[in-house]
Amino acid sequence: MTAPVRPRPRPAPASLRIALIASARHPIRDPFAGGLEAHTWTLSQALRARGHEVTIFAGPGSDPALGVVEMPFRTPRISEAARRDTSMVAPHWLAEHHAYLQLMLDLSHGPVRYDIVHNNSLHYLPVAMAAALSVPVVTTLHTPPTPWLESAVQAAPYCPMRFSAVSDHTAAAWRHLVPAATVVRNGIDTRRWHPGPGGEELVWSGRIVPEKGAHLAIEAARLVGRGLRLAGPVGDPEYFETCIRPRLDRTITYVGHLPQPELCELVGSSAAAVVSPCWDEPYGLVIAEALACGTPVCGFARGALPEIVTDDCGRLVPPGDCAALAKAVESTTGLSRAAARRHAESFCSMEVMTRSYERFYRSVSA
């Protein structure tokens, strides 16, 4: 009698050498300037944990634990005569341009040190100069179409770039120019974003800029008669001083730009997270963070929100309708916090995102 033939174990996929291009302007450091920086930090950590060699190119002041290769963000000295020229742009625009230009030149001229280059920035030069590199280059589409990125895709007769998009909504918005973007939704570390006990007050988190609509969250909280705590960096000081600060009082408070552990405690101790965008949100990382904390979401059905928020973990209402948003708060706070957490783990976790990126990288570099 012959022994049964045992299948040979499949070898583990080889690790990849990945160059991850991040923001040259904002450091990859907690507290993060925005969702893009938080996403870059999480992705780099997750890829390394799975055995990949990741080199991050980012702005000065990034988390030292990431081993970032800093892009030189130097504001050029421009004469008064040049400043008066009609073509003059903001100084930070020039600094970013030269930082990305130097990086792409270095990657194109030096020895081949990477298997794939992942452009996780919003800048156009990594797209426009992708053809100059001898290794595959991919770009994640984090925003709706912009003129600079659209023009970069068309800079050469054939764009060698492969694209991913953070949501079906974002992929559809780019389909006129990028017909086959691979959807890889952003994920969060569900170990760092842990469940909280809930509470009575509502929470709003994110960059405080007009398109994020914090003023509408305040209006909805007042209509429903609940307290609201706002957290996040002030990206537009004029908007904050005009539309937010005058509305603050004993029940509507701004708690500042919090580090991740403190933000997790804030969100987890809230009855519901209010998400009130005034634009078509490409993804909405604050939704994933809230759900991981077990906090259900009440928001406007704009952009990618309907892809993430299900009836088990939130309620969505027509965009801009603060009365409907206020009315939906009570039913949202009654939803299961355990169900919200389960949805975060199965749909928008770091593990789900990283496996998707690995498949995407290997399909490009094969």
In tens, the pLDDT along 244-255 reads 999 999 999 999
User: What values do phi and psi take at 206, rounded to 5?
Assistant: 140, 180
Query: Which amino acid is it at 74?
Result: R
CA distance 33 to 13: 34
Residue 1 has pLDDT above 80, yes or no: no
The pLDDT of residue 75 is 79
Structural domain of residue 329, as residue ranges?
202-347
Task: Give yes or no for residue 9 having a pLDDT over 90.
Answer: no
User: Is 7 domain-assigned?
Assistant: no
Do 238 and 263 lie in one domain? The reply is yes
Q: Using a pLDDT cut of 70, give the percent of the chain over it.
A: 96
Evaluate if residue 5 carries a pLDDT over 70. no
Residue 7 has pLDDT above 80, yes or no: no
Q: Are residues 339 and 226 in the same domain?
A: yes
137 belongs to a structural domain: yes
3-state secondary structure of 116: strand
Structural domain contains residue 277: yes
Query: Is residue 322 pLDDT above 80, yes or no?
Result: yes
User: For residue 13, is the peptide bond before it cis, meaning its omega torsion is within 30 degrees of 0?
Assistant: no
Residue 13 pLDDT class (50, 70, 90 cuts): low
236 in the same domain as 130? no
Same domain, residue pair 256 and 180: no
192, part of any domain: no
The verdict on residue 334 lying in a domain is: yes
Is 261 contained in some domain? yes
- Whether residue 153 is contained in a domain is answered as yes
0.75 cut: is pTM over it? yes
Same domain assignment for residues 300 and 215? yes
- Whether 128 contacts 160, CB under 8 Å: no
pLDDT value for 8: 47
CA distance 86 to 81: 11
SS3 138: strand
The domain that holds 215 is classified in CATH as: 3.40.50.2000
Spatial neighbors of 14 by CB under 8 A, at least 6 apart, are none
Q: How many domains does the chain have?
A: 2
Is 121 a member of any domain? yes
Q: What is the pLDDT of residues 214-233, one digit of tens each?
A: 999 999 999 999 999 999 99
